[in-house]
Amino acid sequence: MIKRKFAFEGISNSFYAFSIVVWIGVSVPCCVSAQTDSVKKANELKEVSIRAIKLGKRQLSASPLQILSGKDLERINSLSVADAIRFFSGVQLKDYGGIGGLKTINVRSMGTNHTAVFYDGVQLGNAQNGQVDLGKFSLDNIDEIELYNGQKSTIFQSARGFASGSSLYLNAKQPLFENGQTDHFKAAFKTGSFALINPALLWQKKISNSVSASINTEYKKSDGRYKFRYTDGVYDTTLVRRNADIETMRVEAGLQGKLADSSVWTAKAYFYKDNQGLPGAIVNNKYDFTQRLWNRNFFIQSTYKKEVGRYNLMASAKYASDYTRFLDPDFVTDEGLLDNRFKQQELYLSMTNRYHINSFWDVVLSGDYQRNTLDANLYRFPYPTRNTFLTALATQFHWKKLDIQANLLSTYVNDQVRQYYAAGNKNELTPTIMVSWQPFDLKEFRLRSFYKNIFRMPTFNDLYYTAIGSTFLKPEYTKQYDFGLTYIKAFKDKLLRQVSLQTDVYYNKVKDKIIAAPGANLFRWSMQNIGLVEIKGLDLNVQTAWGITEDLELNTGLTYTYQQALNVTSVKLNYRNQIPYIPVNSGSFILGADWKNYAMNYSYIYTGQRFNQSANNVYNYVPAWYTHDIAFHYNYSIHKANIRLSAEVNNLLNQYYDVIANFPMPGRSYRFTLAYTY
């Protein structure tokens, strides 16, 4: 009873804060003064041309930012978002292999649950396990992928934007109509290894001068069969991956418009459905599997943004419904085969207010409300509901040479269950401060630094999964300290046209890491807050652009990551051992070339030796892997239409490797694309 009363007070407190945000949002627009364009321009982190150099977001961002967009993204060998983010520094992709294998991102060794993924500005949630499978997001309609360590370098964002250790933004292609154009149409067909069939259609329509619509659909099917090889130097066996088939369907429709006061709005509906086999770990005497998984994801979201004037407003709303079914024919109960069904629902409302106090000082107040529910046909399942209130107060000082952003985020989480125990309430206050500084007159050289204290909530699975979850869990906290520099230099009439470099050193600490720990027996694992991890790292990114001849352009991208991620939980167990699956050294190299109608790309990815369990011993050693990919593209234009032909070879040298122990990755594979656009 006491607990319940407490919960109610918590809700009402947060509700007060939340309603203040809403109230400001509604009332302030009445007293907006004339717009100050200069402020607006300084705030926009769009490409600003300074002399011959283009200082971009990469250089100006106070938090480390990596981008893959447009042409670069089109040129590299990628089917899904997961393939593309491998080229970022400080990132480990957890990849279970094949087209259907789970692919999640671990940024700077903090763990997959510390990266928020935003799709067209709104976060993709998964309250059940906190993971977003990036292999499920096709690159077909993605125009830009941005990865921010810490958070996006702007204070004008939803409270959610402040609420994660790092943030990945996936931005869909926006319709752009040049003079006289009213339609764009794109049809693409991909095929290749693993019996891949992957057609996609995109249609963009200009409805009026201020409103446009787009619809995009994609189908993908693959048998997922590929050869893999295991050897210990004595045995040497090559097998075919089985039960890795996948069939997916995605439909997206969007509307976007501009109002008379230059504010913009969007509305989007998304539907995704798949049906896949779940290939398990390849262990002795077990090479085939029967488990299957079905997913159905649906969401609608709408955003509104007004950036002119002294007072700015951003609002968004989302409703999402996810369904998962897991069937295990190897697990026969007295009621038949194990057949679990999970239903999640999410409601999300967000409002952000910005006020330009003067030419160099802005303040922001953001409030988000989120409601998540999970239903499952599990015995003794508690049926949890989570209400989350986020309130962020942020401020920014920006001068020509100095940009300071600071925010304080209040998180209030209330869990309720229909039966058994609820985790109760959690109230957290976490700060972030970020600085970008140009120390000399030289605009090309900037220093940046940030400190961020944030946490991730235990997921529904951590807390409530029958016979595993533990309602005693605290949040998992991270502290990040980052210091870096950016430098860019352009050369006129030289072969080397531009060099740009970004590098950061960082120290992260993960406290109360949520780990599955043994219970009374192997059937009774429990989740506990026992991990403490210290991470020291270095990220390096170098991009160059070369003009070899008038027609031949070369672009290179090099990344290097050094990470020492040590388990310092207990002196008794694996003390100061590198945590599992984090290589000390990793990196990538991309070489892109454009010549007339032709383009090619070569890419190389290196992941150094790792350990697959906590103890750094010979039995847990995982060798380094490195793959070479190559792609050729040909563009042919007739009138306004364009035909693009692509051929890709992935893992050119056919190296066999595992990212996750016993989940083999494909060897050499091929992909061909035919795309038609007008």
Partner 1 sequence: MKKQITYRLSLAVLVSVSLFSCRKDPQPAPEQTEVVPPAAGPAKGFYLVNEGNMNMNKASLDYMDLTTGLYRRNIYDAANPGIVKGLGDVGNDIGVYGSKLYVVVNVSNKVEVMDVKTGKRIKQIDILNCRYITFHKGKAYVSAYLGSVGDPNAPQGIVAQIDTTSLTEVRRVEVGRQPEELAVVGEKLYVANSGGYSPKNYERTVAVVDLNTFQVIKKIDVGINLHRLKADKYGDLYVTSRGDYYDVPSKLFVIDTKTEKVKKTFDIGVSNLTIDDDYAYYYSSEYSYLTGMNSISYGIINVKDEVLTDKKFITDGTDKEILVPYGIAVNPYTKDVYVTDAKDYVSPGTLYMFNPAGTKKYQVTTGDIPAHFAFVY
Name the amino acid, one letter, at 274.
D
Q: Does 326 bind partner 1 (CB under 8 A)?
A: no
Q: Does 624 bind partner 1 (CB under 8 A)?
A: yes
Mark 362-401 with x for binding to partner 1 (rule: CB under 8 A) and - for no binding.
-----------------xx---------------------
Q: Give min distance, CB of 645 to partner 1, in A.
A: 24
Q: Which of residues 222-261 bind partner 1 (CB under 8 A)?
A: 230-235, 237
Which one of residues 519, 542, 642, 676 is an interface residue with partner 1 (CB under 8 A)?
Answer: 519
Helix or strand or coil: residue 202?
A: strand
Helix or strand or coil: residue 28?
A: helix
Helix or strand or coil: residue 322?
A: strand
Q: Does 662 bind partner 1 (CB under 8 A)?
A: yes
Q: Among 209-217, 306-314, 606-614, 636-644, which window interacts with partner 1 (CB under 8 A)? A: 606-614
Q: Give min distance, CB of 335 to partner 1, in A.
A: 7
CB-CB neighbours of 16 under 10 Å: 12
Q: Give min distance, CB of 527 to partner 1, in A.
A: 9
Q: Does 493 bind partner 1 (CB under 8 A)?
A: no
Q: Which of residues 24-63 bind partner 1 (CB under 8 A)?
A: none
Instruction: Go through 388-407 and write b for each residue having 16 or more CB atoms within 10 A of its CB, e for each that does not.
Output: bbbbbbbebebeeeebbbbb
Q: Does 574 bind partner 1 (CB under 8 A)?
A: yes
Which one of residues 282, 315, 501, 566 is an interface residue with partner 1 (CB under 8 A)?
Answer: 282
Q: CA-to-CA distance for 500 and 53, rounded, in angstroms? A: 10
Q: CA-to-CA distance for 456 and 130, rounded, in angstroms? A: 9
Within 8 A by CB and 6+ apart from 95, the residues are 82, 101, 102, 103, 135, 659, 660, 663, 665
Q: CA-to-CA distance for 142 and 144, rounded, in angstroms? A: 6
Q: Among 84-92, 181-189, 346-354, 617-625, which window interacts with partner 1 (CB under 8 A)? A: 617-625
Q: Give min distance, CB of 477 to partner 1, in A.
A: 19
Which one of residues 219, 546, 632, 676 is an interface residue with partner 1 (CB under 8 A)?
Answer: 546
Contact (Cβ atoms closer than 8 angstroms) between residue 365 and residue 24: yes
Q: Give min distance, CB of 247 to partner 1, in A.
A: 21
Q: Token pair of 216, please?
A: 């995009």
Q: Token pair of 271, please?
A: 């539907």
Q: How far apart are the first and last CA of the chain?
A: 65
Q: Which of residues 456-485 bind partner 1 (CB under 8 A)?
A: 466-467, 470-472
- By CB atoms closer than 10 A (0-12, 13-18, 19+), residue 230 is middle
Alpha helix stretches (DSSP H) within 411-459: none
Q: Does 625 bind partner 1 (CB under 8 A)?
A: yes
Which one of residues 27, 284, 358, 419 is an interface residue with partner 1 (CB under 8 A)?
Answer: 284
Question: Whose structure tokens read 């330009």?
Answer: 356
Which one of residues 191, 263, 613, 654 is an interface residue with partner 1 (CB under 8 A)?
Answer: 613
Q: CA-to-CA distance for 48 and 140, rounded, in angstroms? A: 28
Query: How many Cα atoms within 13 Å fall on the side-chain side of residue 332?
Result: 1
Which one of residues 604, 634, 676, 678 is an interface residue with partner 1 (CB under 8 A)?
Answer: 604
User: Measured from the CB atom, is 437 or 626 closer to partner 1?
Assistant: 626
Q: Give min distance, CB of 551 to partner 1, in A.
A: 11
User: Measured from the CB atom, is 193 or 601 closer to partner 1?
Assistant: 601
Q: Does 281 bind partner 1 (CB under 8 A)?
A: yes
Count of residues interacting with partner 1 (CB under 8 A): 72
Report the run of H or E that residue 16 belongs to, with start and end. Answer: helix 2-27
User: Measured from the CB atom, is 185 or 331 closer to partner 1?
Assistant: 331
